[in-house]
Amino acid sequence: AQSVTQLGSHVSVSEGALVLLRCNYSSSVPPYLFWYVQYPNQGLQLLLKYTSAATLVKGINGFEAEFKKSETSFHLTKPSAHMSDAAEYFCAVSGANQAGTALIFGKGTTLSVSS
């Protein structure tokens, strides 16, 4: 079984500051890991994914995440926050080689960006 814990339901940063959103996972099989972003009243947009290739994954809008197996973490970072980054961010996990099974989401982290 897989699960995801997102540390911090709300993160506030200033424009231009580093963004760090934390995600820890638990998985009984090798995991695939994902970060999704949800803007108000919109659907879920894939930011990036880890599927057992490079451990440092680069995504859209300047975001990246590093898979650390020893720490069971997949934290999302962006060097410089922009006002348009304000949104809900979800970390999610699925089992590798289990394409028909569920993608399990964390509870989400709301990112606020102030000027």
Partner 1 sequence: EPEVTQTPSHQVTQMGQEVILRCVPISNHLYFYWYRQILGQKVEFLVSFYNNEISEKSEIFDDQFSVERPDGSNFTLKIRSTKLEDSAMYFCASRAGEGYGYTFGSGTRLTVV
**Site residues for partner 1 per CB under 8 A:** 32, 34, 36, 42-46, 49, 51-52, 90, 92, 96-97, 99-108
Checking phi first, is residue 89 left (phi over 0); if not, alpha (psi -120 to 50) or beta?
A: beta
We find the least distance from the C-beta atom of residue 44 to partner 1, in angstroms, to be: 4
Q: Which is nearer to partner 1, 9 or 80 (CB)?
A: 9
We find the least distance from the C-beta atom of residue 62 to partner 1, in angstroms, to be: 18
CA distance 72 to 63: 19
We find the least distance from the C-beta atom of residue 83 to partner 1, in angstroms, to be: 23
Continuous segment of H or E residues that includes residue 105: strand 104-105
